[in-house]
A = this chain, B = another copy of it.
Amino acid sequence: MAIEGRDEIHAGRIRLGMVGGGQGAFIGAVHRIASRIDDKFELVAGALSSTPEKAKASAAEIGLDSKRSYGTYEEMATAELARDDGIQAVAIVTPNHMHFPVAKRFLEAGFHVICDKPMTTTLAEAKELAAIARKAGKVFVLTHNYTGYPMIRQARAMVAGGDLGRIRVVVAEYAQDWLAERAEDAGSKQAGWRVDPAKAGAGGAIGDIGTHAHNLATYVTGLRVETLSADLSTFVSGRQLDDNASMLLRFENGAKGMLWASQVAVGNENGLTLRVYGEKGGLEWSQEEPNKLWYTPLGEPRRLLTRGGAGAGPAAAAVSRIPAGHPEGYLEGFATIYGEAAELIRAAEAGRAPPDGLALPGIEDGVDGLAFIEACVKSSDEDGAWTRLGR
């Protein structure tokens, strides 16, 4: 039952810096754990907070050398560039509005970038960053982490391999309930910036979680959304951004879809689900039970494929660590993004092509995500007019 690793010789740890992720942040700790799980990174520097005392305390809390705990990201970029043992890559885990300037700075300074999503706060910024990244020739990885789940890889491989035939219908949902009341008034740092357009961008629920659902739908089906018709709502009074979004989708091959993103759906914790139906079969997956994938070949009984189990193929196995029945979770999926990012970075630094089979989201997915957000807002503003994604 052992799952074999990809490397025969340990290739050493990539030196990583982090921007954001200080005390009280959720996603910074997630990135740090994810970077450690497969032992391919070593966190050696950080600008963990824009508040100097907090940056210092945060660095002490995670055991970062105080000399490499910086007050600002600019300072970190400059100082690390000057070191022989400076960082090779940076993880950007700030609120959304800082993704662009930080990523720009580090890409232009010659660092590889691992950036949280959504990539920027506007489509224009996203396109500009894409141009910067292309020019810099550095690795840019966007942590649409749900693409790291083995059974998502399995689903993607099955669609690509034709098991479902031509895709007809895609239903993507991401339902939560943590913003059903004004969590932003209760001192939640997480809630605070997510409902603030200056920090989050034009999308509330669509930016925070809708982009994940959109990304997952396109990642698994290999189809892009051409146009959408959206209805955004703000149910909690006093809030500026959407907290519920429902929309119809039309994909490039003629497939039809629905997408629902809500942060007011009481009873849902992190209900990201994807259902894909083709001429020859159907697939259903839920993030809260990520080791399972329901597969129904047309005219046959439903089958429950499991990570590591009899029905799972090489795409899932390549990103699994433990045998079937031992659940892998969110952090392992996230770690897979880091693991594949390491492969890309090593290949880039060695001037060789990356290994086959990597499948992680990057700069184009980031542009696509912002195109999605802006199309949602525009369509909703125009009473649901079908709106083309402006990539």
Contact of A2 among B8, B25, B176 (CB under 8 A): B25
Of A195-203, A281-289, A368-376, the one with at least 4 CB within 8 A of chain B? A281-289
Q: Is the CB of B244 within 8 A of A246?
A: no
Nearest-CB residue, chain B, relative to A40: B63
Known: A2-B190, A39-B63, A300-B310. A269 touches B324 (CB 8 A): yes
Query: Is A45's CB within 8 Å of the partner chain B?
Result: no
Query: Is A325's CB within 8 Å of the partner chain B?
Result: yes
In the complex, per-residue mask of A329-358: 1 if CB is within 8 Å of any chain B CB, else 0 = 111100000000000000000000000000
Nearest-CB residue, chain B, relative to A183: B1
Contact of A383 among B37, B168, B262, B386 (CB under 8 A): B386
In the complex, per-residue mask of A56-78: 1 if CB is within 8 Å of any chain B CB, else 0 = 01001111100000000000000
Contact of A246 among B30, B188, B257 (CB under 8 A): B257
A317 to B342, CA, bound (A): 32
Closest Cβ of chain B to A91, distance in Å, is: 15
A321 to B28, CA, bound (A): 12
Q: How many copies of the shown chain assemble into the complex?
A: 4
Query: Is A98's CB within 8 Å of the partner chain B?
Result: no
A54 to B340, CA, bound (A): 27
Q: Is the CB of B229 within 8 A of A309?
A: no
Known: A1-B178, A37-B33, A296-B266. A290 touches B383 (CB 8 A): no
Q: Is the CB of A37 within 8 A of B39?
A: no
Known: A25-B2, A229-B384. A299 touches B310 (CB 8 A): yes
Contact of A327 among B190, B257, B298, B329 (CB under 8 A): B329
Q: Is the CB of B309 within 8 A of A26?
A: no
Query: Is A81's CB within 8 Å of the partner chain B?
Result: no
Q: Is the CB of B270 within 8 A of A326?
A: yes
A8 to B171, CA, bound (A): 44
Of A102-110, A124-132, A272-280, the one with at least 4 CB within 8 A of chain B? A272-280
Q: Is the CB of B278 within 8 A of A266?
A: yes
In the complex, per-residue mask of A224-250: 1 if CB is within 8 Å of any chain B CB, else 0 = 000001010101000000001011101
Q: Is the CB of A26 within 8 A of B1?
A: yes
Question: Which residues on the B side are within 8 Å of A289 (C-beta)?
Answer: 289, 327
Closest Cβ of chain B to A85, distance in Å, is: 17
A280 to B12, CA, bound (A): 46
Closest Cβ of chain B to A286, distance in Å, is: 10
Known: A37-B37, A266-B280, A288-B325. A304 touches B304 (CB 8 A): yes
Nearest-CB residue, chain B, relative to A323: B26
Query: Is A189's CB within 8 Å of the partner chain B?
Result: yes
A300 to B324, CA, bound (A): 13
Q: Is the CB of B280 within 8 A of A256?
A: no
A328 to B26, CA, bound (A): 15
A287 to B328, CA, bound (A): 11
Q: Is the CB of A277 within 8 A of B248?
A: no
**Would you mind naming 25 contact pairs between A and B with Cβ atoms under 8 Å apart?**
A2-B189, A2-B190, A5-B29, A9-B61, A12-B63, A29-B321, A32-B39, A168-B244, A169-B262, A169-B264, A177-B298, A229-B248, A233-B256, A246-B256, A265-B282, A266-B282, A266-B298, A267-B284, A269-B325, A270-B323, A288-B327, A291-B329, A302-B303, A303-B303, A329-B329
